Amino acid sequence: MKKYTKILSLIAVLICIVFMSGCAKNITVEYQIDDTVITTQQYAKNNKIKLVDAPTKEGYTFVGWYDKATDTKVEEKVKVKGNLVLVGKYEITNYQIIYQNEGNQVSNPTTYTMFSEDITLNNPTRDGYVFLGWYNGDTKVEKIVKGSTGNLTLVAKWEVVNGHKVVFKAGAGEFSDGTSELVIYVVDGGELVYPENPVVVDKNGRVFKGWYIDSEIILPGTLVTEDLVLRAKYVNSDETYSLIYNLNGGTMKGSTEQIYFKDGFLALETPKKEGFEFLGWYDNESFNGKNYRYIDENSTGNVELFAKWVLVNYEYVDTIFLELIPDEITDDLYMPFNYQGVELAWKSSNTSILSLTGVINQSHQDQEVTIELDITFEDEVFSYSKKVTIKRIVFEDITNPVAGYFYTTGVTIKSETVVNNLDIAYYAFVKVQSNGAVTVEGLSSFNTFVRDGLTLRKKGIRMVLSVAGGADNFSNACRNVGPSAVADNIMYYVEKYNLDGVDIDWEFPADSTDQQYLNVLCQSLRAKLDILGKGGTPYLLTAAIPSSQLYQRFDLKTLNKYLDYVNMMSYDMNASGRASHLCPLFRAFNDGNLGYGIDDGIVKFTTAGLDANKIIVGGAFYGKAYTVKGTGNYESKYPALGAPAELNSLQYASGTVTYKYISKNILIDSSYKRYFDNEAKVPYLYSASKKIFITYEDVESLQLKTEYAYENGMGIMFWEYGYDDNNILTDAICDKMAELKNKK
């Protein structure tokens, strides 16, 4: 009995296995084409579907598999929850027709389908030639019959009438087909077109110099009025330059990036563009000046050429819009008013982001703009519209930043060294008012700063708004409307003008209440900037803080949480009653002052809780002038340094003298002698006869500060660009930092 029980149990298990395996695939997916089932699949519930390949259908393009019940498209790997009937959908294929034609342009269809009625092709004409027909490869095509499929490239073939025979003899060279002789026919009075340059095969590796009759070169474009025999000449040359072709929507057989040899000869290829006539090669996008046919022995240097076209067939008007306007924009657009023989009238849905001349002002987020264009061709207007994406601006990460303040009149950057090496440009200032409002100081200069920023930001320079207002205005504004409202008013300018951050120059918090207001203001700005930049390019938040004892009025430990950088105002360290240093790098007591120095300021800042790599040390593009009233402690080595003195209104009543003034008026005065304090690492000027002492910065001291900042993982900034003289000091900083970074 036990034996039968075991057998029955085994049978029961087998039945369960069979049953379960049958249940494992209990969902059917059926595929239909034109109501005919082509295959089925079995799936377990919630398994992911693997769609079968659809059969090809001549004249159609497969669109996808659709749920028959809901008419919705089913994607690969969708989970199967129940039985499905999938219907394959197709759409009629549009085939392209490309015409290659050296004759006059004629109107022919550029697309067709398998179901198009017979298309009889129109024939072009060409002076001096007989049209032989349209050819697809070696097959002559007179009409495209109904039922045809496939993209077509139709080439117009010609035979010259009463032409002249031109024989090209390559001599030591050969053509690409291995022959050394090539024959063409040119219509009487027609222009000579060079064939391909012969490949030089002799052992000396000489380069092609041109086609000659005896000693006379026969140039491309020469009018042919008789039979010619032209012989190639060659020259030794191993010096090459690059040649780049900008086709402006055209095509050419050869590469768009080539080389040419010094002293050689290169006939420029004639490109093609359906619906357009080629007008020549130019070395500028405005198509001014010389129309190039060739590169000859008089050419040197790298060359970039631009193809000029004129529209000759209205069916290709849309080509202009499509080639000028991409879907995504990362750089300024070329939006001319006359282009390739037509008139263009542009509209932009947001001219602050995309101007009508194609200049883009990128935000920290991608932005959509609608571009509209009216194209006038032969008195008919064709209108187009397109939504495009202005891609967000992207900056490289900053290491050892170089930053500069631009105060009202000194906003235009003129030096390429500065453009290529500056990281942050601060506009000084917008000012906070007691009621919380924020206003621009020097509106025309601010507009110039914003305008320059369109170019400078593309060079990687962040354009940042520096906010001042004095201690009372900051304090009253925060008290009257709250730090968050003040932050909103600041953010208005950041958003409106697509600026890259905010700098706070609160000089100076008066007490612990002000200190807390500043903390909350920076916290609020940080939050608002982060929200604005979320998912895009981050914004900068910085502050200008003095390295004198006034630094104690700032809660650096708290500010460290919100600020990207602190611009250390390590200048104005001089004493008003003593001939002392303005901006010493190291602590030194030769001037009888309190021993201020950038190195001392860094210790103070980091001890108070600021990360060292957030410090940007300061350099001054100005000095202070004193009238000396006594003697210093080190007269033999440093005359007048540390002597009792009064600030002198040599240029300004405050004693301030700009480096520009020093350069143009003091350095040329032989009564002044330059001294350099090797402990503080700063210079000064002294006129013993005039008893005038000037503390200032020069190339040497600023480059020492730059080197110090770099070696300590910090940046350097300057106040202010307009005080410089012909970029002498700015270039000194930028050159030195670039040199140090390039040594990595």
Fill in the amino acid letter for 145: V
pLDDT digits (tens, 9 = 90+) for 297-316: 888 899 999 999 999 888 88
pLDDT value for 594: 75
Would you say 711 and 739 are in contact if contact means Cβ atoms under 8 Å apart? no
Yes or no: say if 435 and 477 are a contact pair by the CB < 8 Å rule.
yes
Could you tell me which residues come within 8 angstroms of residue 203 by beta carbon, excluding any fewer than 6 positions away? Answer: none
The residue extents of the domains of the chain are: 22-92, 95-160, 314-375, 393-562, 570-744
Flag whether pLDDT at 660 surpasses 90. yes
Give domain 570-744's CATH architecture: Roll (3.10)
Q: Give the 3-state secondary structure of 552-620.
A: HHCCHHHHCCCCCEEEEECCCCCCCCECCCCCCCCCCCCCCCCCCCHHHHHHHHHHCCCCHHHEEEEEE
- This prediction has a pTM of 0.73
Q: Could you check whether 22-92 and 95-160 share the same CATH topology?
A: yes
DSSP state of 670: T
| The pLDDT value given to residue 8 | 47
pLDDT tens per residue, range 213-237:
999 999 999 999 999 999 999 998 8
CATH fold of the domain at 393-562? TIM Barrel (3.20.20)
Assess whether pLDDT exceeds 80 at residue 107.
yes
Q: List pLDDT tens digits, range 624-648.
A: 999 999 999 899 999 999 999 999 9
Least confident of 58-62, 158-162, 288-292: 158-162
Question: Cis peptide before 508, with omega less than 30 degrees from 0?
Answer: yes
> How far apart are alpha carbons 550 and 511 in whole angstroms?
11
φ/ψ (deg, to 5) at 465: -90, 120
Distance CA 583, CA 570 (A): 6
For residue 201, the model assigns a pLDDT of 62
CB 306 within 8 A of CB 246: yes
Q: Provide the CB-side half-sphere exposure for 580 (13 A, CA).
A: 21
**pLDDT bucket at 286, cuts 50 / 70 / 90:** confident
Q: What is the pLDDT of residue 24?
A: 46
Nearest-angstrom CA–CA distance, 643 and 663:
24
d(CA 643, CA 186): 92
pLDDT > 70 fraction of the chain, expressed in percent and rounded: 96
Across the range 108-131, mean pLDDT stands at 89
Give the 3-state secondary structure of 259-319.
Answer: EEECCCCEECCCCECCCEEEEEEECCCCCCCCCECEECCCCCCCEEEEEEEEECCHHHHHH
pLDDT at 472: 85
pLDDT tens string 494-547:
999 999 999 999 999 999 999 999 999 999 999 999 999 998 999 999 999 999
Amino acid at 166: V
Q: Is 239 helix (H, G, I), strand (E, B) or coil?
A: coil
104 Cα distance to chain centroid? 40
pLDDT at residue 177, rounded to an integer: 85
Whole-number pLDDT of residue 4: 47
CATH no. for 95-160: 2.60.40
CA neighbor of 449 nearest in space, from 431, 470, 426, 432: 426
In this structure, of 260-269, 418-427, 554-563, the range with the lowest mean pLDDT score is 260-269
Inform me whether the pLDDT recorded for 187 exceeds 70: yes
Fold of the 22-92 domain: Immunoglobulin-like (2.60.40)
With residues binned 3-state (H G I as helix, E B as strand, rest as coil), the percentages for the chain, rounded to 5, are: 20, 35, 45
Three-state DSSP class for residue 447: helix
- Higher per-residue confidence, 562 vs 48: 562
Mean model confidence pLDDT for the chain: 91
Average pLDDT over residues 699-709: 98
User: Which is more confidently placed, 160 or 621?
Assistant: 621
